[in-house]
Amino acid sequence: MYDIIILGSGPAGLTAALYTARANKKTLVLGGDRLGGQTAGIATLENYPGWAGSGLELAQFMQKQCETFGATVKFVSAKNISGDAENGFVVSCDDGAEYSARAVIVATGASPRKLEIDGAREFMGRGVSYCATCDGFFYSGKTVIVLGGGNSALNDALYLADLAKTVKIVYRKSEFSRAEAVLRERVAARENIECLFNTDLVKIAAKPDSTDGELIVTTTDGTDMVVDGVFVAIGHEANTDFLSEDIKRDALGRLAPSAMPAGMFVAGDVHSDIKMQIATAVGTGCTAGMDAIAYINKLQ
């Protein structure tokens, strides 16, 4: 039996693992399907103090750091958590394995919110993408749309502008009020980025007789545009579907630490009422790790 199982290998989970492993608690990190979560998709990480490099490089550094102190990292995903504080917890994974621990830290992060319009599901992976750094290469020299108006959308547009011929940002509001000023300035300075405000997408369809997989996207004002790809950046929802229904969540699936059962803790983007930033994820990872350490110490 482990002392602590941490679900998630993003900055929150790996920070928690660093603290718990350094406190000589037997620590297992179940890292999901890839190291780093959303952080791994950041090509250039500029707003995490003391770091110059990609998000994946930061996650790799964090993994090595917590492993140095004895943490074990396995890349599987939790499907279910059973048990309780009195008898211990059992985490069942997607590979059929089960792991037990006296405490669990949920740091499973968030996933991009899916676009729910005609054609969005049909063309997912065939012109519709939720990861610019994953799929941008396939659109070199082509025309793409980025849907959204926050930091993620503008970062995606700037990344794609280095690859695509033209990037059109479609946003339902009149300005990028939620995005950082530095990103707005960079977008405005790029000649191949066009901003389409006060509109949204209502339909995605294949362009008839196209041999290159082009799409026709229809906006709320009835305009049809021919594009090669659509990148969606309209927010995130917490990855908490594997938890039992009796664990309280907010509208985005996030968890309030005060509402968690004894022996279970929360860190990172699944934590309710925090900004979704690496710095805040690390802070909540530290808190969850220290709280879990104190909890285990009381049991001894």
Rounded CA separation 210/220 (Å): 24
210 and 80 Cβ atoms separated by less than 8 Å: no
Q: Which of 134, 162, 221, 250 is catalytic?
A: 134
Q: Which of 93, 94, 131, 200 is catalytic?
A: 131
End-to-end C-alpha distance for the chain, whole angstroms: 14
Q: Which of 93, 94, 135, 200 is catalytic?
A: 135
Rounded CA separation 6/63 (Å): 13
135 counts as catalytic: yes
Rounded CA separation 137/141 (Å): 9
134 counts as catalytic: yes
131 counts as catalytic: yes
Q: How far is CA 62 from the centre of its chain?
A: 17
> Which residues form the catalytic set?
131, 134-135
